[in-house]
A and B are shown apart, each in its own frame.
Chain A
């Protein structure tokens, strides 16, 4: 960077870099989705089939592209099927978070007053509760299982959605079209559903993409602590967690799922960033939207 002022060339390069990384992110996300959907065809082997005598084979062994794990299950197949669970966990928990959070934000932002105060207090309480502890508590108390896991991760992601949506609603509430609609007799529900919510969609979408990666990482930490999904369901998180004890004897068992998580999270982050830049550049730098992990 020299003494020249930033010209259109610089700015263009920057947008291109952002777009390119976002495009890369999107590409990877779509690829993972495709693999997940087409799992039975992509992975030629059964991820659950154990062959104890073929365990701990390294990648490159004929018939096992990525090797086998402690029970002789094909690692490649488990990674492919694991993509399904990871995406499912990510999407469902974020859907829960977005749903609950947006509802809270909409109601609070629109009606204001005591309701808003009360709702925001609840959100504050959730925010002051360390994320992982909340997830541990929910999983520990409701039992294991996929749904409870998604619920736990989802609930712990509610605060950012609530805050962002509320912020949007507060900003929109004073706009002309809202006044106009109200003058025409539109009730709260209609206003929220027809106008406020759709206009808040872009931050919700951006935040969703970014929070999917948080969800995946939280699931892996819970698996490490023993609170993840019960076997034999392969999830990248539990595979990485169980694999750590094989670092010296069969490192691929942990490294491959860990790398898979990294790539997927990276992709969602890049894509989310790109979305944010594209949809609403003014959102950049705002604390509420940046990824808050785990």
Chain B
């Protein structure tokens, strides 16, 4: 029957067409995993914004800057101690206000921008201090009074007051990355997406919203790195990035979502490095509002929280319980504070004492980022169990910032990562920082202690004051820290040398090699 034949023919032709369209592309796939070329292809959850050390907004950009720039000092191994980097050695004056750095000689900037000298150091710091730059790190640089170029390889930094955290908190961190004066003057605004530094990798290209490429800098003063090329791909959905890693389209990624981690663990070709971070996730209570103005209510809420189960289950073990203001790994940390162990009965008792035995309703305003969703869901159940009705107000980025800055909330959720207490004590616990600043709990009881610890040059003295601060804050409980997150780097097992630093849970690729 010709009719049937024609119809069949048509169907066959259609199938053939579809197959042709499909097989062509299939043959053109590459798998990064199976090649042993010294190339890293990594995934990042959002687009890059600025790699200029004066402006680094957040993690992905920091990850780039970390590998492209060097500072006078850098974090050593997996700690927050510092070791020499661009400065071979340094001297601190007895009054703690004058730092003299003796710089490494023969260090080159990328792309032929010349040799690194003391003038670049002066330029870098003054640039951040300059209000016209509008650097977000200006406040942390304000401790610097003047910078003098003694000679090409010696620079003297005069501080306005002694500072215990100058090396670890400023110089080893983002604002401390030294930029090439010549490059900044030449490139102007474009420097943000064409960074020139002295680090092991140099920037190659950036395709907006897609990828960023770096390659090894052969003249790096510690020797050219083993990895020759790094490609960063923007993948907003961590789930999809995990699938790509398992398939081999990428061979490195940072995992923050516990579920993605759990799925990746089943893959025998992957290796993991887990790092506890000096970060914490917490909820802050507005101490100016009823019923949270009553410390008993706040303590009740603290007792209602079951950290251990939460970490073990919802976080799949990627975290450790946090009880204190200062996380483990950071200077001054102590766990000898009031801990408020999980005890629903005690919580109810405290609420009754405060006069709320009939129940009370409070709200939590938050932005659905990272762990916030998980936390508020758990909190709702915990609070319900002690008679508190928690109302969830979920807002997107812009609206949440506005609400947070207006102070109109009972509880808010936030997560922070810092490397030195100075970087957050003022911002989050000093009365000068009430909203619109970052002091979300309107806490004002430790102002003088904050200032005292900043002035203490002697580390032991500073640690003592910090311990006092932690005890006081835990007793007053303006906020409840829940956990210190553990971030995981997942990568193909052919990569060796991965070691995350607690300070920046990001990879310093100069230490990584690919081998069988």
Known A144-B395, A248-B263; contact A226-B368, beta-carbon cutoff 8 A: yes
Distance, CA A70 to CA B257, complexed state (A): 13
Residue of A with least CB distance to B265: A249
B259 contacts partner chain A, Cβ-Cβ < 8 Å:
yes
Task: Tell me the smallest distance from the CB of A146 to a CB of chain B, in Å.
Answer: 12
Task: Tell me the smallest distance from the CB of A136 to a CB of chain B, in Å.
Answer: 9
Partner pick for B239 among A50, A227, A245, CB 8 A cutoff: A245
Distance, CA A246 to CA B259, complexed state (A): 7
The 0/1 profile, CB within 8 Å of B marked 1, for residues 78-98 of chain A is 000000000000000000000
A133 contacts partner chain B, Cβ-Cβ < 8 Å:
no
A247 contacts partner chain B, Cβ-Cβ < 8 Å:
yes
The answer to whether B396 touches A140 (Cβ under 8 A) is yes
Distance, CA A55 to CA B377, complexed state (A): 14
Known A141-B399, A231-B380, A232-B380; contact A52-B313, beta-carbon cutoff 8 A: yes
Q: Which of B374, B376, B380 has the most CB of A within 10 A?
A: B380
B381 contacts partner chain A, Cβ-Cβ < 8 Å:
yes
Partner pick for B260 among A48, A144, A245, CB 8 A cutoff: A245
Known A231-B373, A245-B257, A246-B259; contact A55-B393, beta-carbon cutoff 8 A: no
Residue of A with least CB distance to B260: A245
Distance, CA A72 to CA B306, complexed state (A): 15
Task: Tell me the smallest distance from the CB of B237 to a CB of chain A, in Å.
Answer: 8
The 0/1 profile, CB within 8 Å of B marked 1, for residues 204-221 of chain A is 000000000000000000
The 0/1 profile, CB within 8 Å of A marked 1, for residues 386-409 of chain B is 000000111110110000000000
Distance, CA A55 to CA B378, complexed state (A): 13
CB-CB < 8 A to A71: which residues of B? 314, 377-378, 381
Distance, CA A284 to CA B359, complexed state (A): 57
The 0/1 profile, CB within 8 Å of B marked 1, for residues 128-169 of chain A is 000000000001110110000000000000000000000000
Interface residues of B in 85-107 (CB under 8 A from A): none
The 0/1 profile, CB within 8 Å of A marked 1, for residues 306-342 of chain B is 1001100110000000000000000000000000000
CB-CB < 8 A to B263: which residues of A? 247-249
The answer to whether B314 touches A144 (Cβ under 8 A) is no
Task: Tell me the smallest distance from the CB of A76 to a CB of chain B, in Å.
Answer: 19
A18 contacts partner chain B, Cβ-Cβ < 8 Å:
no
Task: Tell me the smallest distance from the CB of A134 to a CB of chain B, in Å.
Answer: 15
Number of B residues whose C-beta is below 8 Å from A?
Answer: 28
B262 contacts partner chain A, Cβ-Cβ < 8 Å:
yes
The answer to whether B239 touches A247 (Cβ under 8 A) is yes
Known A141-B399, A232-B377; contact A52-B310, beta-carbon cutoff 8 A: yes
Interface residues of A in 55-87 (CB under 8 A from B): 55, 70-72
A53 contacts partner chain B, Cβ-Cβ < 8 Å:
yes
Task: Tell me the smallest distance from the CB of B322 to a CB of chain A, in Å.
Answer: 18
Residue of A with least CB distance to B385: A50
B249 contacts partner chain A, Cβ-Cβ < 8 Å:
no
B61 contacts partner chain A, Cβ-Cβ < 8 Å:
no
Interface residues of A in 176-226 (CB under 8 A from B): 226
CB-CB < 8 A to B376: which residues of A? 231
The answer to whether B392 touches A231 (Cβ under 8 A) is yes
Known A53-B313, A143-B395; contact A245-B238, beta-carbon cutoff 8 A: yes
A230 contacts partner chain B, Cβ-Cβ < 8 Å:
yes
Distance, CA A249 to CA B373, complexed state (A): 19
Residue of A with least CB distance to B257: A245
The answer to whether B399 touches A143 (Cβ under 8 A) is yes
Distance, CA A141 to CA B266, complexed state (A): 42
CB-CB < 8 A to A139: which residues of B? 396
The answer to whether A244 touches B239 (Cβ under 8 A) is yes
CB-CB < 8 A to A53: which residues of B? 309, 313
Distance, CA A139 to CA B398, complexed state (A): 12
Known A52-B309, A231-B392, A245-B260; contact A70-B314, beta-carbon cutoff 8 A: yes
CB-CB < 8 A to A248: which residues of B? 263, 266
**Could you list some 5 contacts between A and B, CB below 8 A?**
A52-B313, A70-B314, A71-B314, A72-B313, A232-B392
B residues whose Cβ falls under 8 Å from a Cβ of A: 238-239, 257, 259-260, 262-263, 266, 306, 309-310, 313-314, 368, 373-374, 376-378, 380-381, 392-396, 398-399
What are the 9 A-B residue pairs with the smallest beta carbon separation, nearest first?
A: A248-B263, A230-B394, A230-B392, A50-B381, A245-B239, A52-B313, A245-B259, A144-B394, A226-B368
Inter-chain pairs besides A52-B313, A248-B263, A249-B262, 9 sampled, C-beta below 8 Å: A52-B309, A52-B378, A71-B378, A140-B399, A143-B399, A231-B373, A231-B392, A232-B380, A245-B259
A residues whose Cβ falls under 8 Å from a Cβ of B: 48-50, 52-53, 55, 70-72, 139-141, 143-144, 226-227, 230-232, 244-249
